[in-house]
Amino acid sequence: MIISQKLDEIPVKLTLVPNVAAVYTHGLVENIEESGKLTQVTASQATGTREIDYELVQLAQRGDKRAFGMLVEKYQRKLSRLLSRMIRDQAEIEDVVQESFIKAYRALPNFRGDSAFYTWLYRIGINTAKNYLVSAGRRPSVSTDIEIEDAENFEDGNELRTMDTPETALMTKQIAQTVNDAVVSLPDELRTAITLREIEGLSYEEIATIMQCPIGTVRSRIFRARETIALKLRPLLDTPEHKRW
């Protein structure tokens, strides 16, 4: 397998699940159930995209709400995951995430690009969650002194113990399963490219160096991987409750 050959040349281990091969041959969901504990480094996805995020913010600041919508699509699940460490109930998390985005939208004129957008958003999210818990007279389930820097790299071991509603739990599992099955059945070079990008958070240039191919090839492989996975994902989402805005 391509990726394991490349790994031999690099004197470090990818800090994914202890059994590296397992990540790329078994679905993530299965692994979770087997080992019960998943140590996964969430790649700093947002760092490379700071400029794009800021462009979208500026478009929104000039009145384009669709641009804000693109930021919502990008960060809604990430923010939800962050806040799930403070709030257990899925329905409550959704309310807080909703309120956080609305607050962020209203506060957009104050955003000047001094920090990354997601940092600013996450701060709003955490403050909203804290206020929610205080007003509900509750203490958060985990310490609320979450450093924003950790938000990039925190461990997700607790996430699946969130009290999902049965529907969302099932949907989460289905989506994860579909995506992971699709990743696993990708041709080697596509799977490697998209994994290095989405899991390891490497830039195209870094991936090009690992895979020893031009950056344009990396870009094309990641795109083709995504399109292949999207093909399998879309039928799952194409039901009335998933109608797009």
Partner 1 sequence: MMNEKVSALADGEIEGQEATNELALMLSDKAAMQAWRDYQRIGDAMRGSANLNDAFTARLMLAIEQEPTVLAPNAMPRTLHSTSAKETAVEKNHTVQKIQDRLPAVWSIAASCAAVLMVGWVLLNQQLQDFSSGQSVQVAARAVQQADPTKLVTSPAEAPAVPLEYLAAHHVSAPSVGSYYIQAASYSE
Partner 2 sequence: MNVKQYFQRTCIVASTFLLMNVLVIRILHAEPANDAWQMLQKSAAAARLLSYQGIFVYGACNQTKAVQITHLHNGQGEYSRNVTLDDSPKEVFSQGRDLVIFNPKKEKIVIEKRHGQNLFPAILPTELEPLKTSYTLYTGEVEQVAGRLARVLLLTPKDNLRYHYKFWIDQEYGLLLKYSMLNARQEPLETIAFNQLNMMDSLNLDWFKPQIDHKKNYVMEDETPMVSDSSISDDWSIKELPMGFSKINQMRLMAHGKTTPVTQFIISDGMATVSLFIEPLNKKIKPRIGHQVVGNNSFYANVEDGYQITVVGEVPQETVAKIANAVVFKK
- The footprint of partner 1 on residues 67-96 (CB under 8 A) is 67-70, 72-74, 76-78, 80-81, 84, 90, 94
3-class secondary-structure state, position 168? helix
Residue 12 as a binder of partner 2 (CB under 8 A): the answer is: yes
Cα-to-chain-centroid distance, residue 63: 27
d(C-alpha 235, C-alpha 108), whole Å: 35
Among 2, 14, 52, 163, binds partner 2 (CB under 8 A): 14
The CB-of-25 to partner 1 minimum distance in angstroms stands at: 15
- Of the candidates 198, 158, 203, the one whose C-alpha atom is nearest the C-alpha of residue 179 is 198
Among 8, 12, 13, 62, binds partner 1 (CB under 8 A): 62
Among 87, 96, 97, 146, binds partner 1 (CB under 8 A): 97
Residue 118 as a binder of partner 1 (CB under 8 A): the answer is: no
DSSP 25: H
Output the CA angle 78-46-155, nearest 5 degrees: 50
Give how many residues touch partner 2 by CB under 8 A: 17
Residue 48 as a binder of partner 1 (CB under 8 A): the answer is: yes
Residue 10 as a binder of partner 2 (CB under 8 A): the answer is: yes
DSSP 243: -
Token reading at 26:
């078994």
- Of the candidates 140, 43, 38, the one whose C-alpha atom is nearest the C-alpha of residue 83 is 140
Contact of residue 190 among partner 2, partner 1, none (CB under 5-8 Å per partner type):
none
Contact of residue 244 among partner 1, partner 2, none (CB under 5-8 Å per partner type):
partner 1
Sign of CA dihedral 122, 124, 130, 132: negative
How many Cβ atoms sit within 10 Å of the Cβ of residue 242?
Answer: 10
Residue 9 as a binder of partner 2 (CB under 8 A): the answer is: no
Contacts of partner 2 in 181-200 (CB under 8 A): 196, 200
Among 41, 70, 184, 237, binds partner 2 (CB under 8 A): 41
- Whether the Cβ atoms of residue 143 and residue 129 lie closer than 8 Å to each other: no
Segment interacting with partner 1 (CB under 8 A) among 4-12, 121-129, 133-141, 191-199: 191-199
Residue 184 as a binder of partner 1 (CB under 8 A): the answer is: no
